[in-house]
């Protein structure tokens, strides 16, 4: 009887161990699957965020079909990588080259260009901008983007639509200027104690007027 009981107990213990191993294996696989799903969802969220275009025509709040876009590239020295010269915002883009004498005796370089773009071209421009920002900064340069439309806009609606956080504002007569920070835009500057990468100005009444979106700040007169 004692021997039979011992065999039964051994069989039962082995059975329990097998069950525990199977449960551990299932739990490990389940955790791995959930982790993979979480990583995939996180990547998808980043891709969705990156696919957003926080420019005027793509914001969904303007009636204008075209926008005048200017791009300014500033470099601390004249040694500009060939990839920057050859990778233009649009196929027919033309850069204007200019040198500036700096106080230290060195010469900085400014490349400027502008073109009238529709919404699809605007999206392509922002894709180019996103790609070029790290290359330009690595080469010791900065990029400034200026987009203008012949229409006054609801700046608060734009900020809400593009998830931009306003930090500074100025109201003068019929001109409203807002400085803000938007997460998708990959460059920024300090304005006092605030980090900003958008400056939006609108002048006019209702939809009659003009608006400009500058990234990260306005360089040209409005």
Q: What is the 3-state secondary structure (H, E, C) of 133-156?
A: HHHHHHCCEEEEEEEEECCCCCHH
220 within some domain: no
221 within some domain: no
Kindly indicate the confidence band of residue 16, based on its pLDDT and cuts at 50, 70 and 90.
low
- Rounded-to-integer distance, Cα 115 and Cα 78, Å: 25
- Same domain? 74 vs 34: no
- Same domain? 31 vs 70: no
Mean pLDDT calculated for residue range 176-196: 93
Q: Look at 5-19, 27-41, 176-190 and tell me which has the smallest mean pLDDT.
A: 27-41
- Rounded-to-integer distance, Cα 202 and Cα 108, Å: 32
- Same domain? 24 vs 75: no
pTM across the whole model: 0.74
Total number of domains in the chain: 2
Q: pLDDT, tens digit, for every residue of 75-96? A: 988 888 888 888 999 999 999 9
- Same domain? 8 vs 108: no
Q: pLDDT, tens digit, for every residue of 124-160? A: 999 999 999 999 999 999 999 999 999 999 999 999 9
Q: The domain containing residue 46 runs over which residues?
A: 1-51
Query: How many C-beta neighbours within 10 Å does residue 219 have?
Result: 14
- Same domain? 47 vs 61: no
140 within some domain: yes
- Same domain? 110 vs 137: yes
- Same domain? 141 vs 177: yes
- Same domain? 118 vs 15: no
For residue 21, what pLDDT is reported? Answer: 55
Of 116, 72, 122, which is closest to residue 96 (Cα–Cα)?
72
197 within some domain: yes
- Same domain? 93 vs 13: no
222 within some domain: no
């Amino acid at each position: 009887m004692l021997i039979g009981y011992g065999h039964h107990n051994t069989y039962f213990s082995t059975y329990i161990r097998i069950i525990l191993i199977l449960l551990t294996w299932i739990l490990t696989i389940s955790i791995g699957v959930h982790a993979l799903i979480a990583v995939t969802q996180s990547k998808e969220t980043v891709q969705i965020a990156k696919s957003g275009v926080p420019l005027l025509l793509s914001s969904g709040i303007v009636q204008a079909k075209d926008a005048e876009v200017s791009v300014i590239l500033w470099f601390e020295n004249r040694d500009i990588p060939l990839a920057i010269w050859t990778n233009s915002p649009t196929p027919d883009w033309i850069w204007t080259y200019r040198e500036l004498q700096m106080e230290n005796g060195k010469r900085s370089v400014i490349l400027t260009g502008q073109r009238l773009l529709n919404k699809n071209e605007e999206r392509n421009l922002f894709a180019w901008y996103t790609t070029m920002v790290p290359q330009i900064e690595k080469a010791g340069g900065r990029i400034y983007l200026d987009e203008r439309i012949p229409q006054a806009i609801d700046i608060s609606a734009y900020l809400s639509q593009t998830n931009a956080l306003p930090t500074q504002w100025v109201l003068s007569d019929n001109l409203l200027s807002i400085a803000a920070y938007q997460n998708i835009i990959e460059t920024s500057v300090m304005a006092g104690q605030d980090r900003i990468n958008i400056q939006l100005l609108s002048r006019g009444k209702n939809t009659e007027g003009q608006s400009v979106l500058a990234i990260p700040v306005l360089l040209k007169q409005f």
